[in-house]
Amino acid sequence: MGYPWRVFASKGIDGELLVKRISTIHTCIAAPVSAREMANTQNWLQRIVPQHLFVTKATKPTEIVVTIRIHYGEKVNYEAARVAKAALIADRLEHQREHFHKIPYYLQLLHQHNQNLYSDLYRIIDDHGNRVFQRLFICPQESRISFQSMRKFMAVDGTFLKARFVQTLLLAVGIDGNGNILLLAWGIVESENESSWRYFLEHLRKAIPESENMTLISNQDKGLLAADKVMGIGVARAYCCFHLKENFCKRFT
């Protein structure tokens, strides 16, 4: 059984491909490690590493070392991996900043493909007079149409987004006639608090008016308990038994 071979080459001034080295050493875990100067250069590492590893602040440089070892059979020193990690995080930070500025264009594109889409973008003015993103709500027209023939039941919850800028994803889901979970609406807010939940639920009520008479289930989050009054008196409250069981077991067992 053979192993793949690799050719290391670069483009010359005239555009011709110049072969530097041909390697027939296989790259399985048991293969010997070959040290190569190019593997420690930052332009190579920063281009190759994201193809195999999502680098975050929690990523250890040794993870980069092992990743390059497994995929390329190359030996990368710890310091080179540390510098590459820092550069990749910085690039991602700038990349995420740009995406916040593109949110209005993203919403415009969504409305072009779904004219009755319900959305809201809430921004605040910072100390420098710049408009800064804070909250976003999206509910497609299909969600309202689907909910009209679904069980009058909706579950809401939030989860953290794993990015440099700490944000929280809020979700509202229902159960269709086949017993499948259907995502109805979602939003991005600064955190799970009374104000953000109030924002989400107010727009959920506007986007799906049929939700005024239903059962709403949650994990009994304090911010949600205070804010769900905006849904109206026709909404019955229910709580996630699994969540209550987990809390009970942690406290009393």
Are 123 and 131 contacting, i.e. CB atoms less than 8 angstroms apart?
Answer: yes
Does residue 1 sit within a domain? no
Q: Assess whether 108 and 225 both reside in one domain.
A: yes
What does the block give as tokens for 239? 């709580």
- Residues 93-128 pLDDT 10s: 666 677 777 888 889 999 998 889 999 998 888 777
- Classify residue 106: in a domain, yes or no: yes
Whether 140 is covered by a domain: the verdict is yes
The answer to whether residues 139 and 88 belong to one domain is no
Residues 60 and 115 in one domain: no
CB-based burial of residue 126 (10 Å sphere; 0-12 exposed, 13-18 middle, 19+ buried)? Answer: exposed
Residue 1: pLDDT above 50?
Answer: no
Same domain, 218 and 124: yes
> Residue 189: which CATH number?
3.30.420
Domain that holds residue 245: 102-252
Domain boundary among 76, 99, 122: 99
Q: Which of 99, 125, 142 is the last residue of a domain?
A: 99
The domain boundary, picked from 62, 77, 99, lies at 99
| Residue 125 included in any domain | yes
Q: Is residue 147 part of a domain?
A: yes
Q: Are residues 47 and 136 in the same domain?
A: no
Percent of the chain's residues with pLDDT above 90: 22
- Domain membership flag for residue 149: yes
Per-residue pLDDT of 7-23, as tens digits, reads: 667 776 677 777 666 55
Same structural domain, 233 and 181: yes
Q: Is the pLDDT of residue 2 over 60?
A: no
Confidence band, pLDDT 50/70/90 cuts, at residue 248? confident
Domain co-membership, 206 together with 195: yes
Residues 64 and 84: their CA atoms lie apart, in Å, by: 9
Whether residue 151 is found in the same domain as residue 52: no
| Residues 23 and 129 placed together within one structural domain of the fold | no
Q: pLDDT grade, residue 243 (50/70/90)?
A: low
**221 and 168 share a domain?**
yes
Are 125 and 174 within one domain?
yes
* Tally of structural domains, the chain: 2
> DSSP letters of 105-163?
HHHHHHHHH-TT-EEEEEEEE-TTS-EEEEEEEEE-HHHHHHHTTS-SEEEEEEEEE-S
